[in-house]
Amino acid sequence: MSKMHVTTTINGEPTEFLCDPDRSLLDVLRNTLGLTGTKEGCGTGDCGACSVTVDGRLVCACLMLAVEAGGCEIGTIEGMAQGGELHPLQQKFLEMAALQCGICTPGVLVAAKALLEKNPDPTETEVRFGLAGNLCRCTGYDKIVRAVLDTAAEMREAVQ
Amino acid sequence: MNVISDKLHVENNKWIGTRTIRPDGADKVTGRACYAADNVMPGMIWGKVLRSPHAHARIRSIDTSKAEALPGVKAVVTARDIVDFPLDKSVMLGIQDMRWMCRNVMAREKALFHGHPVAAVAAINEEVAAEACRLIEVDYEVLPHVIEIEDAIRPDAPILHDFLTFEDKPSNIAGRMEAKLGDVEAGFAQADVIVERTFRTRPVHQGYIEPQACTVSYAADGRATIWSSSQGQFMVRAMTSLLTGVPQSNIKAIPAEIGGGFGAKTIIYLEPVALLLSKKSGRPVKMVMTRDEVMRATGPTSGSLSTVRIGARRDGTIVAAQGTFYLQAGCLPGSPLRGPVGCSFAPYEIPNVLSVGYDVVSNRSKVAAYRAPGAPLGAYATESVLDELAGKLGIDPLELRLKNSAKPGSKAAYGATFGKVTFEETIEAIRTHEHYRAPLDKTPRPGVKRGRGVASGFWYNAGGESSAQVNITEDGNVLVTTGHPDVGGSRASIANVTAELLGIEHGRVSVQIGDTSSIGFSNLTGGSRVTFASAMVVTQSTEKVITQLRERAARIWKIDPEAVTWENGEARPAGPNAGQFPPLTLTELAAKANEMGGPIGAGVQLNTTGADPGFATHVVDVEVDVDLGIIRVLRYTAAQDVGRALHPSYVEGQIQGGVVQGIGWALSEEYLYDRQGRLDNASFLDYRMPVCSDVPMIEPVMLEIPNPKHPQGVRGVGEAPIVPPLAAIANAVHDALGIRFTSLPMSPPKVVEALEGA
């Protein structure tokens, strides 16, 4: 199998890589590009630990072939903080202890950011369904939902 | 970063009891934290496990020659490479018997479950390793298999192990445990009302999101370094040493950040295999399990078949209780019998108790610890029977528990005589809670029924070995090292304690987890022991540091160390008689440390004691869709004596997380096997853990009744929260439907069937 050359943008940085056509985007992010913030919990699109955005759309990186990323804008957890400044969601997760072991946290944060970009004023139910693709086994989700709702409120206030 | 202060739960403390930012937080929200699978080594190759395609088969021979000849393959390992622990002699490491562990890590005489490792390969990449696994030829003699408890204990059942006998016959019953108090038959003779029921629960998986993974480098000098995520780097070192024959002193186990464990990572699967592959290949070897492998071949906890019988007088006084608990061990002995046998009746003062557990092997993966191992399935039976008993007696279920609750001096059947008992407080907390008193519309709309249930729970908690080192940096800050992997935020609690004792700003304290070569022996992160034990050794270490700081100040001032006090982060003369000196801060003393006696720091290694048990009482409201059989949890309140919440957020988190795991156990999670004895739902799609939209907010009620045996009053927290939910939810469903479910999970098909039969 000959490798394919892929040109893409990851967290705003032009990025090129070579990969076999059967490699998942997750595999390339983690094992080729060293972006290990995106986690593998299942490899079957059921846990959301590998959540990334592709052209603004939330996807499981384990379900997408890396070659499909050609010409796309990929967003990962490593691009969430800007210039050393945490994203409000990241800051709120720390303040409200919305993580325990932290393995699901990158995926939850990426998914929550995508959710708030679509819906800046979600209800609790909307947050719960918005994050239903992200398994967390430690927290019981309580503090995660609260942190997302609080962040949304703060971000709305900041806009006004 | 901000530090959020919340002094609701404590007084006169600046840091203990506040919601500070966890020391490992920034790394974890930015993706920088290094978990086991994130590690890479120069020259690293990949290991892969070949697993048994049969549930039960004798291994006649293994031919690895074709695999070894495949280009890119660097090493192959089979059971011959693992240290053999003969079956006739037990070698224990903690609660783990190496006879079973060596056979669990790699099948020896027989493959005992579908997915049992039979060989492993290391190759230049994962694809070549997988291809090599396919080239290994294993000659199996397929044997009849057995999966369920009822089948495994039948006289004509296929026997897994010839060496196991029960009542002098070959048997799949590997052991029996008993707890006894008084005379149970005489007790039942005094009862006016007796309720007896039989209950079934399925094995459920711990469900951590991070699959097991490790990287092992075995160097030419015979020294090995292991990076892996576990609940104890010292366990990794010791068990790997035993299974490979490499001395402990030649192994350094480095704890990666751990992505959840819940008990399952108190044993190892990959590390010894990776070490041997590394030794044979001369290359660092990385191994990462797939989710399918995690589900098929690690954990879960035991399924159970339990009969509980409780008798009471008409006034509600319980006079006798009997429990018989059959637990699935998986393919090798080791069910958590201590959970149901000891915990089921422990919250109550019952004069006559007989509690018996049986350890039953069958062709499933060997069970591993899961949060309060075995206690939830015991409490499910006991607390369901108590609910029924309360109904028959016409007594409020909380009143019944209150009337019979254990008190100081009560003797539990498992042997303990309780000192301080805080069970009544948890019942009162729920009984007086707005949730318990709120009206519940039991038929809010057609096709929907609602109900409310309560249940209580008990967990032993644990102390044990812990080590800490507290060092003052040259610039006057503090570095704390402990030996416990931090799964749920224990570093945050340790930072609070250290900053409090030294009287300094929280941000000046760093906390890290040491590897096996940099900190003294520390037992597992488990048993709800870490915050209890590590706060104890960190407190003693910090007190030693404070003594050193006072001595340094005394030397500078040329006065007696006894005449120096430490307050608010600085040394001061104890009183006017001590002399007039301006205070010396931690920073000033650190700067003068080397000219005044050398570096400042102290460590403590201790076998901690005084971890008194934990009690919890929960109330839950559920809603049942009577057409679809779907049960939803509407509201959940969990009261627990937490001793003292060093960091309230992470204490709440333990309660909330434990409850939601209990909700999954009650409603949706179960191991399902096909007729060939293969696990049928080895994925997160088919093994259904609660997702965010399945559950409501979980309200924790933290009762802070200080544990008098701990410097900060800490009581273990992590396990008790998963004990009551199974029964609390089943009792709520009974309240809604009038149907008592004696089998978990209460999944939609089962609920529909029960409703149709009702």
The string of DSSP letters for B427-483 reads HHHHHTSHHHHS---S-SBTTEEEEEEEEEEEE----EEEEEEEEE-TTS-EEEEES
User: How many Cα atoms sit within 13 Å of B339 on the Cβ side?
Assistant: 32
Strands of A1-111 (E only): list them.
4-10, 13-19, 51-54, 57-60, 73-75
Please list every residue in chain B whose beta carbon sits closer than 8 Å to the beta carbon of residue A132: 691-694
For chain A, percent of residues with pLDDT exceeding 90 = 97
The string of DSSP letters for B685-739 reads TTS----GGG---EEEEEE----TTSTT-----SSGGGSSHHHHHHHHHHHHHS-
Please list every residue in chain B whose beta carbon sits closer than 8 Å to the beta carbon of residue A1: none
The nearest CA of chain A is from the CA of B93 a distance in Å of 26
Determine whether the interchain pair A135/B1 forms a contact, defined as Cβ–Cβ distance below 8 Å: no
B209 touches chain A (CB under 8 A): yes
Please list every residue in chain A whose beta carbon sits closer than 8 Å to the beta carbon of residue B694: 132
Determine whether the interchain pair A131/B692 forms a contact, defined as Cβ–Cβ distance below 8 Å: yes
Nearest Cα residue to B323 out of B295, B346, B292, B290 = B346
Would you place residue B9 in the very low, low, confident or very high pLDDT band (cuts 50, 70, 90)? very low
**Which sequence spans correspond to the domains of chain B?**
425-461+612-758, 463-608
**In Å, how far are A65, B42, B288, B608 from A19, measured between CA atoms?**
10, 20, 21, 53
Q: How far apart are CA B530 and CA B689, in angstroms?
A: 26
Q: Residue B12: its pLDDT value, please?
A: 83
Would you place residue A30 in the very low, low, confident or very high pLDDT band (cuts 50, 70, 90)? very high
Q: Residue B79: its pLDDT value, please?
A: 98
Q: How far apart are CA B265 and CA B338, in angstroms?
A: 19
pLDDT over 70 at B10, yes or no: no
pLDDT over 70 at B615, yes or no: yes
Would you place residue B72 in the very low, low, confident or very high pLDDT band (cuts 50, 70, 90)? very high
The two tokens of residue B722 are 């998963």
Residue B122's CB is within 10 A of a number of other CB atoms, namely 30
Report the relative pairing of strands B353-361 and B173-181 from DSSP bridges. antiparallel
Mean predicted confidence (pLDDT) in B597-610: 96
Q: How far apart are CA B254 and CA B215, in angstroms?
A: 10
Q: Greatest CA span in chain A, whole angstroms?
A: 54
Would you place residue A1 in the very low, low, confident or very high pLDDT band (cuts 50, 70, 90)? low
The two tokens of residue B476 are 């006057």
Tally the residues of chain A.
160
Q: Residue B596: its pLDDT value, please?
A: 87
Determine whether the interchain pair B260/A35 forms a contact, defined as Cβ–Cβ distance below 8 Å: no
Q: Which tens digit of pLDDT belongs to each residue from B699-741? A: 999 999 999 999 999 999 999 999 999 999 999 999 999 999 9
Q: Which tens digit of pLDDT belongs to each residue from B533-554? A: 999 999 999 999 999 999 999 9
B331 with B362: CB under 8 angstroms? yes
Interface of A with B in 97-116 (CB under 8 A): 97, 99-106, 109
Give the number of beta-carbon pairs within 8 Å between A and B: 185
Q: Residue B1: its pLDDT value, please?
A: 35
pLDDT over 90 at B6, yes or no: no
Q: What is the mean pLDDT of chain A?
A: 97
For chain B, percent of residues with pLDDT exceeding 90 = 97
pLDDT over 70 at B2, yes or no: no
A39 touches chain B (CB under 8 A): yes
DSSP lists the bridge partners of residue B366 as: none
Range A127-131, long-range pairs (CB < 8 A, 24+ positions):
A127/B692, A128/B692, A128/B693, A129/B692, A129/B693, A131/A48, A131/B692, A131/B693
Mean predicted confidence (pLDDT) in B485-491: 95
Q: What is the mean pLDDT of chain B?
A: 96
Candidate from A93, A103, A143 with C-beta closest to B209: A103
Q: Which chain A residue shows the shortest CA-CA distance from B230?
A: A101
B653 touches chain A (CB under 8 A): yes
pLDDT over 60 at B5, yes or no: no
Mean predicted confidence (pLDDT) in B400-408: 97
| CATH number for the domain running over A88-159 | 1.10.150.120
Q: Which chain A residue shows the shortest CA-CA distance from B485?
A: A101
A145 touches chain B (CB under 8 A): yes
A40 touches chain B (CB under 8 A): yes
B457 with B342: CB under 8 angstroms? no
Q: How far apart are CA B390 and CA B396, in angstroms?
A: 6
Candidate from A39, A94, A142 with C-beta closest to B21: A94
Determine whether the interchain pair A102/B653 forms a contact, defined as Cβ–Cβ distance below 8 Å: no
The two tokens of residue B705 are 């009744």
The nearest CA of chain A is from the CA of B203 a distance in Å of 17
CA A3 to chain centre: 27
B21 touches chain A (CB under 8 A): yes
Please list every residue in chain A whose beta carbon sits closer than 8 Å to the beta carbon of residue B684: 41-42, 44, 46-47, 135
Nearest Cα residue to B96 out of B294, B215, B229, B272 = B272
Q: What one-letter code names the amino acid at B753?
A: E
Q: What are phi and psi of B296, to 5 degrees?
A: -75, -35
pLDDT over 90 at B7, yes or no: no
Mean predicted confidence (pLDDT) in B157-174: 96
B261 with B208: CB under 8 angstroms? yes
Mean predicted confidence (pLDDT) in B437-452: 98
Q: Residue B22: its pLDDT value, please?
A: 97
A123 touches chain B (CB under 8 A): no
**In Å, how far are A67, A137, B177, B413, B669 from B746, measured between CA atoms?**
44, 20, 29, 31, 9
Q: Which chain B residue shows the shortest CA-CA distance from A138?
A: B657
Determine whether the interchain pair A101/B487 forms a contact, defined as Cβ–Cβ distance below 8 Å: yes
Mean predicted confidence (pLDDT) in B431-455: 98
Determine whether the interchain pair B693/A137 forms a contact, defined as Cβ–Cβ distance below 8 Å: no
The two tokens of residue B453 are 């249930």
Nearest Cα residue to B746 out of B195, B200, B149 = B200
- CATH topology classification for B463-608: Aldehyde Oxidoreductase; domain 4 (3.30.365)
Q: Residue B273: its pLDDT value, please?
A: 98
Degrees (nearest 5) of the Cα angle B279, B285, B291? 135
Candidate from B209, B488, B694 with C-beta closest to A104: B209
B692 touches chain A (CB under 8 A): yes
Could you say which DSSP state residue B410 is in? Answer: P
Could you say which DSSP state residue B10 is in? Answer: -
pLDDT over 90 at B668, yes or no: yes
Q: Residue A160: its pLDDT value, please?
A: 79
Determine whether the interchain pair A43/B290 forms a contact, defined as Cβ–Cβ distance below 8 Å: yes
Helices (H) and strands (E) in chain B — how many of each? 20, 30
> Could you check whether B425-461+612-758 and B463-608 share the same CATH topology?
yes
Please list every residue in chain A whose beta carbon sits closer than 8 Å to the beta carbon of residue B32: 37
pLDDT over 70 at B496, yes or no: yes
Q: Which chain B residue shows the shortest CA-CA distance from A133?
A: B691
The two tokens of residue A34 are 């060293």
| CATH number for the domain running over B425-461+612-758 | 3.30.365.10
Q: Is the dihedral of CA B121, B122, B126, B129 positive or negative?
A: negative
pLDDT over 70 at B669, yes or no: yes
The two tokens of residue A128 are 């719960």
Determine whether the interchain pair A137/B291 forms a contact, defined as Cβ–Cβ distance below 8 Å: no
B260 touches chain A (CB under 8 A): yes
Determine whether the interchain pair A39/B693 forms a contact, defined as Cβ–Cβ distance below 8 Å: no
Q: Which tens digit of pLDDT belongs to each residue from B651-661? A: 999 999 999 99
Q: Residue B11: its pLDDT value, please?
A: 61
Report the relative pairing of strands B584-585 and B601-608 from DSSP bridges. unpaired
A145 with A124: CB under 8 angstroms? yes
The two tokens of residue B40 are 């890479």
Rg of chain A (C-alpha set)? 16
B488 touches chain A (CB under 8 A): yes
CA B593 to chain centre: 42
Is the model's pTM score more than 0.90? yes
pLDDT over 60 at A89, yes or no: yes
A20 with A67: CB under 8 angstroms? no
Q: Residue B8: its pLDDT value, please?
A: 33
Q: Does domain A4-79 have CATH number 3.30.450.20?
A: no
pLDDT over 50 at B286, yes or no: yes
Please list every residue in chain B whose beta carbon sits closer than 8 Å to the beta carbon of residue A145: 692, 697
Q: How far apart are CA B410 and CA B407, in angstroms?
A: 5
Candidate from B30, B34, B650 with C-beta closest to A97: B650
B468 with B482: CB under 8 angstroms? yes
Q: Residue B194: its pLDDT value, please?
A: 98
In B390-417, which positions are buried (b, 16+ CB within 10 angstroms) versus exposed (e)? bbebebebbebbbbbbbeeebbbbbeee
Determine whether the interchain pair B291/A41 forms a contact, defined as Cβ–Cβ distance below 8 Å: yes
